Amino acid sequence: MTTVGILYPGFSAEDDYPRAERLLGDGSRLPLVHTLMREDAHRVDALLDVGSEDILADGAKAVAASGGPLDSIVWACTSGSFVFGWDGAQAQVAALQEVARVPASSTSFAFVDACRALGVESVAIGATYPADVAERFVEFLGKAGIRVLTMTPRGIVTAAEVGTLTEDVVLDFAAAVAADAPGADAVLLPDTALHTIELLDRLDERADRPVLTANQVSVWQGLRLAGDERRRSGLGRLFAA
């Protein structure tokens, strides 16, 4: 049984993780701790605070205390990691690993590793964030050699609002992003505030290519770091590969 500690900022789509546990169906556990979010805002200064070293250290200690021995730990926040830039995000993960004493990663690096695992070289991004924040994700992916063909921002400021988007809205958004970039190898939906876990196979079907979502890649990355790379159904092409 694999146990992946999840550090999740605030409250929006954290229920995707118990849903993922059920879909994994093999006893793997995803104990989750809500880390401090002083301000719910997709704004650079607020995101730098959300992903600060002291907040993640407190979260790591809490999830280890509540979830028992961990096999890995993931900072499940894309914008709260890529906003630090490539080097800053690496330092963030290194500090988290030092505190947790298990392999660690963040959702931003999970996207990169998931793209590499699927052989994805070009992507279309459907970002719920404002454009200035989303552009930082484009830059982050560029550091990894991933070409962003299109980036479509929805301009939503708070994670709480993102968490209210309905299944139909999410599916239609992914399909529209895919249609705007027929040459993209995959569609990326980078916000962990977006409910996607129960939509993954449908998202792939609507986009006619892999759709990588933030909560999906976070779970996948945690399992991978723990050495658990079994194929699984019901969680999109990433898990089926």
What's the mean pLDDT in 51-56? 96
pLDDT of residue 29: 96
Kindly report the pTM of this predicted structure.
0.97
Q: Based on the domain organization, do 140 and 201 belong to the same domain?
A: yes
The count of structural domains within the chain is: 2
What residues pair up with 34 in beta bridges, in sequence order? Answer: 8
Q: Report phi then psi at 27, rounded to 5.
A: 90, -5
d(CA 158, CA 9): 12
Q: Based on the domain organization, do 134 and 167 belong to the same domain?
A: yes
Structural domain harbouring 11 = 4-109+216-240
In CATH, what number is assigned to the domain containing residue 87? 3.40.50.12500
Q: Encode pLDDT of 94-147 as tens digits.
A: 999 999 999 999 999 999 999 999 999 999 999 999 999 999 999 999 999 999
For a pLDDT cut of 90, what percent of the chain falls above it?
97
Q: Based on the domain organization, do 26 and 105 belong to the same domain?
A: yes
Q: Encode pLDDT of 202-215 as tens digits.
A: 999 999 999 999 99
Q: Based on the domain organization, do 226 and 166 belong to the same domain?
A: no
pLDDT of residue 68: 80
Residue 67, pLDDT above cutoff 80: no
